[in-house]
Chains A and B, each alone.
Chain A
Amino acid sequence: MSATQNSLSHLQALEAESIEIFREVASSFERPVMMYSIGKDSSVLLHLARKAFYPSKIPFPLLHVDTTWKFKEMISFRDRMAEQYGFDLLVHTNQEGKEQNINPFDHGSARYTDIMKTVALRQALNAGQYDAAIGGARRDEEKSRAKERIFSHRNAQHAWDPKNQRPELWRVFNTRLAPGESMRVFPLSNWTELDIWTYIYSEGIEIPPLYLSKKRPVVERSGTLIMVDDERLPLNEGEVPREEMVRFRTLGCYPLTGAIRSEAATLPEIIMEMNASTTSEREGRLIDSDQAGSMEKKKQEGYF
């Protein structure tokens, strides 16, 4: 985005801040990696990373932790992006978990998330010996995230110590680490959900089509619409998938991601609909509502 006057608009300021963070990571760490989860925030993150290093290619790999339960459309989108922009894509699945067929139905969402996401992430970070992992989390998403630094220190066990964070002054980031420690870095910390959408719109960033409404097969379970993305979703007795106009506000594992009924099939329609919305984005994610403080607890254990 180019400046038109002698000061920057809020989106220009946010963009510049994120680019600066990306460059600081590339300059300060030996083995950075960027978490790529395929959603809208990851799409913005990818776009900003390309801008930060243009005309060079992104100087670190992108890592996708594949739980094997992602929407099919997410995987095809991921592979197409990697080809289009020529970034180095790494995909990791917890093979032990896969062999034991760990799934959200038989093992519950908490255990499944722990094994296929948190443990898988730790495995991938350890195997790659990454000293910095860039993520797309935003401070407006959840209360414990609102407290996290942009450069967020992790000990050798990947744990976060929320009561003892390093002070973070101006944009002078302390990137120093002891052996085995690592940093989680969040370039989108100061972006809101609305900023993400308006930026996607004004920059013409491609996002997975699941965000746009169309007829999809869904079943309704305790008030949540679950899309029948493949034949692995066990149907309860008498349960028949119906075609409904639905879209997703957030993308994750399809059995754990609630769809919303919507007619918004274009980006402007989504933004308008979101503005009229009275519920927060993470409501569609089933893993956060287990208990108060649950995200903080997961993060202490190494979840992103």
Chain B
Amino acid sequence: MTIQENIQKNNALDVDSWLGQQTNKSLLRFLTCGSVDDGKSTLIGRLLYDSQLILDDQLAALQKESHNRTTGDEGIDFSLLVDGLTAEREQGITIDVAYRFFTTNKRKFIVADTPGHEQYTRNMATGASNADVAIVLIDARKGLLTQTRRHSFILSLIGVKHVVVVVNKIDLVDYDKETFDRIDAEYREFAGQLGFKSLVTIPISALKGDNIVHKSEAMDWYRGPQLVPYLEEIDVTEDKTDKPFRFPVQWVNRASLDFRGFSGTVAGGSIKPGDEVLVAASRKPAKISRIVTMDGDLDEAIAGQAVTLVLDREIDISRGDVLSAPGTVPEYSNQFQAKLVWMNEERAMSGRSYLIKVGTQLVPATITNIKYKTNVNNLEQSATKCLDLNEVGTVTIATDKPIAFDPYAENGATGGFILIDRLSNATLAAGTVEFGLRRAQNLTYQDFDVNRKTRSEMKGQTPKIVWFTGLSGSGKSTVANLLEKRIAAEGKHTYILDGDNVRHGLNKDLGFTDEDRVENIRRIAEVAKLMADAGLIVLVSFISPFKNERKLAREVAGDIEFIEAYVNTPLEVCAERDPKGLYARAKKGEIKNFTGIDSPFEAPENADITLNAAERDPADLANELYDLMFEGHQYRAL
């Protein structure tokens, strides 16, 4: 009986006790996934319809819209209930995850209806990331498909522990037991490697309603549970309060001169006034003096509660810090191994700088090594240098400064992270920490008495890095050479790092793929920094085609003066000049991945200085650049 029926029949029902019952119901979040056309939206429509949650005006709108479509016995295309975007209704597909809500006498449900197309896998992962249970749909006529396996693999990766496989459209195979048994066996064999805590398989027809709420009369042979009763009963409580205490500080609450509290959500375990905590980064201890909420101070806060903690002493804590139980602190390191689901058309590359967000910590990070990717069909691992959209890989990550984390399997809230593109701000990947690599703790920066300042003073100069970027043949090396001659003539110490020369030595192991270009620039940025640290004025002459790596180079330089000089010579002019005959060969296809021909050049938008080397004399440009560097002029376009 639904709540509506219950209420209608018991008008005299005591409001308070009914509300009490409402307030205390548990919440189950589940998602539906599986391949396109397996009937996910139809199943959710059916769940809402059978729970009598489709209201008169919605039903009227639905019948109107169903008019031109294939429908079930009720004359309704249930999928129209959930496909919310115009493009989705037009194309009859689901693009993005839709959230639906229904309630029974026993539970409240939040359903994430996720798209089946491979192209929208990231949206499926979005739906899975907050779900306790997954319903994996399989079309009885088709059996396991690539997307069934892909989604199941992503479920295990995101950490969904409970899976209900529904073999849908069983009516279209005449309620055949053997078909069901075969799919059941095949799925169990695949899922054996995925580490789910519970797994049931149910034969259903979403369109006709078999085994949704009531036992289907067409399948005497089936003895298992029906879908809705199973979802009402399934126990997903994973005792989060049993885990070590974790509290990522989200916001520092300075209500007055006398009040300084730390606001956040308990991410694991529980805490009481008097308990001792440790700041993960600084290892400074303190005791909890109050747990503050607007409803009054609490005697205890447990995992999932949003509270404000007040400590018994003044210690330096800010957003991003993690308070933890003293005996069981999280890992604190700048290197770890993780799994990634790549979610962007821009492929993952080792060496490139991204932003990582773990809990409330946001820092720059680099994928240092892509160890392998996993084939979603057979779970086999294969070596790779990059990850493309929707690929799943195992990588090592280095962060610019140490962060606190736990393995994802131990705590999802402190072990799950996202990678963000530093230019477009797109969310590129979902990641789960496997384990920390303890290198950071063994490796500290050594402070020496003779430092950059000493070395610079000895040379009587301020170290600088001038980074020339531009197409092959644009005139980078010509200008750099003239500039170096001029600086050296003044008795200053310089060095030119030239793309071609470095590739003969330090970088001779690198080719010209995008991944290798990224690593090429990363190494040069580090070398340039070391040289500037030695007190030199460094001129870097590298095509450096990607914005991301030029940004990285600037960051690596830190507080060293960094001048990005864009040698802006049009491609036609460079190809015409073709001093090394490379453009001619690239056009014939003899050289692959040639910048400007079949590999992109991302022109700088905010270079410190732009050199118009097609029209100006290189000597004039070098002189003017010199004046700008040493006469304190504002940089501008030359």
A interface with B by C-beta (< 8 Å): 1-3, 6-16, 19-20, 23-24, 26-27, 50-56, 139-140, 142-147, 162-163, 165-172, 174, 176-178, 189-190, 192, 194-195, 198, 201-202, 268, 271-272, 275-280, 283, 292-293, 296-297
Contact = CB atoms under 8 A, between A and B. Distances in A.
Most B CB contacts (10 A, CB to CB) among A14, A139, A166, A271 go to: A166
Given A143-B85, A192-B103, 16 more contacts: A7-B241, A8-B305, A9-B23, A16-B304, A26-B251, A51-B295, A54-B292, A139-B99, A145-B84, A147-B84, A163-B85, A163-B96, A168-B427, A174-B427, A198-B22, A293-B85
A167 B416 CA distance: 14
A174 B418 contact: yes
B99 A146 contact: yes
6 contacts: A23-B306, A27-B360, A51-B295, A55-B253, A276-B8, A292-B61
A174 B122 CA distance: 14
A20 B306 contact: yes
A5 B324 CA distance: 22
Contacts of A271: 15, 19
A293 B86 contact: yes
Contacts of B101: 139-140, 190, 192
B125 A54 contact: no
Nearest to A25: B251
A27 B250 contact: yes
Interface string B478-520: 0000000000000000000000000000000000000000000
B238 to A, nearest CB: 10
B358 A172 contact: yes
B462 interface: no
Nearest to A203: B295
Given A20-B250, A20-B306, A194-B103, A167 B122 contact: yes
A174 B356 CA distance: 10
Interface string B294-307: 11001011101110
B463 interface: no
B281 interface: no
B237 interface: yes
Nearest to B22: A198
A278 B55 contact: yes
A16 B303 CA distance: 10
B306 A52 contact: yes
Contacts of B7: 272, 275-276
Given A13-B27, A163-B87, A278-B56, A178 B302 contact: no
Interface of B is mostly: mixed
Interface in B298-348: 298, 300-302, 304-306, 308, 319, 343
Contacts of B350: none
Given A10-B26, A139-B99, A177-B425, A56 B254 contact: yes
Interface string B245-276: 00000110111100101011100001000000
Chain B, interface size category, equals 35 or more
A169 B96 contact: no
A54 B294 contact: yes
A278 B4 CA distance: 9
B367 interface: no
Contacts of A195: 108
A276 B5 CA distance: 8
Interface in B70-108: 81-87, 89, 95-101, 103, 108
Contact of B304 (A13, A162, A172, A280): A13
Nearest to A174: B427
B577 to A, nearest CB: 36
Given A9-B25, A276-B8, A52 B97 contact: no
B130 interface: yes
A146 B293 contact: no
Interface of B: 3-4, 7-8, 11, 15-16, 19, 22-27, 55-58, 61, 65, 81-87, 89, 95-101, 103, 108, 110, 122-123, 125-126, 129-130, 237, 239-241, 250-251, 253-256, 259, 261, 263-265, 270, 292-295, 298, 300-302, 304-306, 308, 319, 343, 355, 357-360, 412-413, 416-418, 420, 424-427, 430
Nearest to B357: A172
B4 A16 contact: no
Given A6-B239, A192-B101, A268-B15, A166 B26 contact: no
Contacts of A172: 357-359, 416-418
A279 B53 CA distance: 10
Contacts of B125: 167, 169
Contacts of A168: 126, 129, 427
A268 B19 CA distance: 9
Contacts of B360: 27
Contacts of B427: 166-169, 174
B251 A169 contact: no
Contacts of A54: 255, 292-294, 308
Which 4 residue pairs of A and B lie closest in terms of their CB atoms, listed nearest first?
A143-B84, A10-B27, A19-B306, A176-B425
A236 B108 CA distance: 47
A178 B425 contact: yes
Nearest to A5: B302
A170 B306 contact: no
Given A16-B306, A170-B413, A202-B19, A23 B56 contact: no
A178 B265 CA distance: 28
Contacts of A202: 19, 23
Given A23-B250, A27-B251, A194-B103, A7 B259 contact: no
B95 to A, nearest CB: 6
A9 B129 contact: no
A275 B3 CA distance: 8
B19 A23 contact: no
A10 B416 contact: no
A192 B241 CA distance: 27
Most B CB contacts (10 A, CB to CB) among A146, A162, A169 go to: A169
B241 A6 contact: yes
Nearest to A297: B86
A16 B264 CA distance: 10
A8 B305 CA distance: 8
B273 to A, nearest CB: 14
Nearest to B250: A23
A169 B358 CA distance: 11
Nearest to B8: A276
